[in-house]
């Protein structure tokens, strides 16, 4: 716990990562399971894949580009999809 909350990143990001680690993120597939007002688990941005935890934080089109940029800045090879 202390490791997560002591990171020097914005509180909103900390909350998002805490939710992801504990499988509490508000992903569309989870919300569909809990609430019936969603009619599809697909990501509303790409409309191609279910919006689950992984898609929400890593695999989604905008997120994937951000991760590739960060990996390149750290002089690491970004993983292929």
CA distance 52 to 24: 11
pLDDT band (50, 70, 90) for residue 81: low
What is the predicted pLDDT for the residue at 79? 63
Q: Judge if pTM exceeds 0.85.
A: no
Q: What is the pLDDT of residues 17-74, one digit of tens each?
A: 788 888 888 888 888 877 767 788 898 888 999 989 888 888 888 888 887 887 888 7
Check if the beta carbon of residue 23 is closer than 8 Å to that of residue 53: yes
Check if the beta carbon of residue 54 is closer than 8 Å to that of residue 75: no
Neighbour count for residue 52 (Cβ, 10 Å): 16
What six digits make up the tokens of 26? Answer: 């508000």
Q: Nearest CA to 20 among 35, 4, 34? A: 4
What six digits make up the tokens of 38? Answer: 């969603």
């Amino acid at each position: 716990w202390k490791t997560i909350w002591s990171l020097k990143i914005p509180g909103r990001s900390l909350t998002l990562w805490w939710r992801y680690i504990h499988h509490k993120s508000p992903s569309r597939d989870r919300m569909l399971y809990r609430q019936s007002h969603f009619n599809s688990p697909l990501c509303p941005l790409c409309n191609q894949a279910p919006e689950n935890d992984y898609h929400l934080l890593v695999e989604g089109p905008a997120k994937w580009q951000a991760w590739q940029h960060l990996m390149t800045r750290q002089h690491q090879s970004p993983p292929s999809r």
